[in-house]
A and B are shown apart, each in its own frame.
Chain A
């Protein structure tokens, strides 16, 4: 992985977290995103350096609300959570062990904390502990050769049974319904934790049903429900295996390519980014920090992808705005493989002009 370190240069790298790992699945065909992620480039920093606005912050009100709700759920040895788990997993009353894994004998380092988590989880799995609720665990996942530390909210363990990942989110479930995009984002994130925990204790001991804890209706009262993340797990596994094949992408890049954000002049960084092929689509706008840069580039080049998936599919085989308009003009020469779409476009162009006139 020396090549990746060379690309990042002297600038400190950005650690992955569950959200960024989940985002890898957003646009699997994009080389640019794959390279930047594998090289651990700090994307927001890169964008600021190229004078794009930073728009990935979270509102202080949202952060505060999330914190308050998480604190409430975990208060008094996670009393609320235990109550919810009893109904959801049919836990007997005596199962109520609460272990805070944050304190690893005064050692704050990631390695020590992860070691502590691993020890306790193994003990629990072998039936040598009394923990039902494992608070603030620290898991580890191998992402493209780099060790990534992940901090799920809570891991629940059912005696003689299996581990469940618990995700505490502050969006409301109103009349048993929640906002779909928010639930899917939470499911993608939770799948990363399930994957990491399975690495540790084995596939069979970790349930693919994660437990989502949210406020009920307009109250602060927590309610819990299970979410099946099997689909997200499959997608994630595919993405992670693809990252390990980053070498083939790197081989296609110009030699000596560097994205040293702090050391290089902006123009050089811009040229280096441009040298890595991107696959911009409008969905990137909500998933990737680089999207505004890629969008400008895509429009400058007249890429049809930038107008959305439907347009791209409808005009299958045509790459750019200019080509589309050229083949739609009667009398222009057309390549053989575009003859059919050209005929349809010419007909559509005539229909439109007639109807507007």
Chain B
């Protein structure tokens, strides 16, 4: 968050309508995203109540659990969900290309994309994955073969969603708040209906009016939790009706009424996002997503075990490092791709922009640790931005992402940077390799490249401070038979 973001919030409040936060779309939208709107039973950790799922806005598939406390019906729900999701995942993930590189690797031609309404939906998906991936398909408590396979993919997708910039599983409210600023608080933005009310209100309504409509306790929430009033007045009776007659019609009708409005909003939101042009960074991140899907596909096809319950010390440290690298690279790439995002960093003083007013092309110095003199030209930029970068800070420019520079001097209105590389091999900087006088240029401390990380030991060499080498994880019959009540 930045002062700019807070200011735009105030402006959106005054205007009664959301304002743009980005000029391009920083997420990849698949050709056929799979929209998944799940609901769970109140008071339970992972008891599915129903879901609307599918890739066609006009034909959602409604799945319900007419008696959510019945264990067999829950697994039937997961099997039904698997029958929708697994063919989708399989069809896409089995088309693989081999990318030529020093070590060639596989990459899927496309990847699955699951869109849920809110971060709560991602969390619930992870719980569903956890409760189904260890199930056995033979012996006591056997389940449909689709169930454990679905559990593994749901777990994989939910885990990937923790990486900044991954588009495999995304929460719609997160996507919308990354691209628009509303005149309500972050907590209220967590409600899909209210958020969309600000961004794209119905004809004749202002943003706050549309959000107030969404706030009505009787308007269906985006899940995964249902409204207590709905539970009391409709759902309880419908479930009792099922218990008495065996007919799921009432439960289906009640849940359809709760899910359909959110389903339609999901597609409305996808339409809004699709209207924005995709940023180059989003396309590049999608390529990485496709590599991850190919890796997981190969792991499953090669007979790999389901994901463990807890990471070992080394795996956890590696994962944390990857999460941090993804976050840093995502933030920087977003700013490099989008002047509106960069403006937030300029407002906070970690980036600045302005016109080049002076260039010293002839400057040569002996760099620290070096022996020969090398060209290190100085470029002076006039800027009105409140620069908070210190002398000696490494900076880069979105218009020259491959060239690094160092801040050499700062005055009230100017910043002088020393260009460090990317000037050719000659005694003088190559033509055009240094920004000329009159150029408008932006520099920032953000670096979209992935920083090098300290290597971590292999799992056999886990140090004693971290419990020593962990035992090999093998799923047990206990896991498979874990009661689910």
Contacts and interface: CB of A to CB of B under 8 A. Distances in A.
A227 interface: no
Interface string A180-193: 00000000000000
Most buried by A among B6, B9, B235, B309: B6
A57 B1 contact: no
Given A282-B185, A344-B386, A57 B7 contact: no
A219 B483 contact: yes
B43 A218 contact: no
A314 B348 CA distance: 11
B188 A282 contact: yes
A321 B13 contact: yes
Given A61-B43, A315-B10, A352 B130 contact: no
Interface residues of B, number: 58
Contacts of B109: none
B385 A170 contact: no
A306 B347 contact: no
A171 B43 CA distance: 7
A314 B482 contact: no
A126 to B, nearest CB: 40
Given A61-B41, A62-B43, A308-B185, A219 B485 contact: yes
B473 interface: no
Given A310-B6, A311-B6, A347 B1 contact: no
Contact of B232 (A60, A175, A299): A60
Given A53-B217, A321-B14, A356-B340, A58 B228 contact: yes
Contacts of A307: 6, 9-10, 13, 183-185
Contact of A65 (B43, B232, B343): B43
B46 A218 contact: yes
Most buried by A among B9, B131, B310, B342: B9
Contacts of A299: 13, 208
A171 B185 CA distance: 28
Contact of B42 (A59, A220, A324, A345): A59
Given A60-B232, A282-B187, A347-B385, A220 B485 contact: yes
A283 interface: yes
B185 A348 contact: no
B327 interface: no
Interface in B169-223: 183-188, 208, 215-218
B186 A310 contact: yes
A63 B228 CA distance: 10
B484 A218 contact: yes
Contact of A64 (B6, B43, B339): B43
B476 to A, nearest CB: 14
Interface string B24-49: 00000000000000000111111000
Interface residues of A, number: 55
Nearest to B45: A172
Most buried by A among B2, B68, B184, B235: B184
A328 interface: yes
Given A219-B483, A351-B343, A352-B7, A59 B226 contact: yes
A285 interface: yes
Contact of A351 (B20, B43, B346, B482): B346
Nearest to B308: A175
Contacts of B384: 347
A263 B9 CA distance: 42
Interface string B300-341: 000000000110000000000000000000000000000110
Contacts of A314: 1-3, 6-7
A216 to B, nearest CB: 10
A348 B7 contact: yes
A106 to B, nearest CB: 34
Given A218-B131, A282-B187, A356-B340, A311 B229 contact: no
B133 to A, nearest CB: 12
Contacts of A282: 185-188
B42 A219 contact: no
Nearest to A215: B45
Interface in A256-301: 282-283, 285-286, 292, 299
Contacts of A175: 130, 309-310
A287 to B, nearest CB: 11
B18 to A, nearest CB: 13
A217 interface: yes
B279 interface: no
Contact of B187 (A63, A304, A308): A308
B76 interface: no
A66 interface: yes
A25 interface: no
Given A66-B43, A307-B13, A315-B6, A174 B186 contact: no
Interface string B212-251: 0001111000000010110110011000000000000000
Contacts of B1: 310, 314
Nearest to B340: A355
Contact of A355 (B208, B232, B310, B339): B339
Contacts of B8: 352
Interface string A319-357: 001101100100000000000000011011101101110
B288 interface: no
Nearest to B310: A175
B364 interface: no
Nearest to B1: A310
B254 interface: no
B292 interface: no
B43 A174 contact: no
A322 to B, nearest CB: 8
B85 to A, nearest CB: 20
B340 A63 contact: no
Interface in B46-69: 46, 68
A283 B310 CA distance: 33
Given A60-B232, A307-B185, A344-B3, A356 B20 contact: yes
B441 interface: no
B228 A174 contact: no
Interface string A212-254: 0001011111000000000000000000000000000000000
Interface of B: 1-4, 6-11, 13-14, 19-20, 23, 41-46, 68, 127, 130-131, 183-188, 208, 215-218, 226, 228-229, 231-232, 235-236, 309-310, 339-340, 342-343, 346-347, 384-386, 482-485
20 contacts: A54-B217, A57-B232, A59-B232, A60-B232, A61-B231, A218-B46, A307-B6, A307-B184, A308-B187, A314-B3, A315-B7, A321-B10, A321-B13, A325-B10, A325-B14, A347-B386, A351-B343, A352-B7, A356-B19, A356-B340
Closest 7 interchain pairs by CB?
A62-B43, A59-B42, A172-B45, A282-B185, A65-B43, A308-B185, A314-B6
Given A324-B10, A328-B7, 8 more contacts: A59-B231, A61-B41, A215-B45, A282-B188, A307-B10, A307-B13, A347-B347, A351-B343
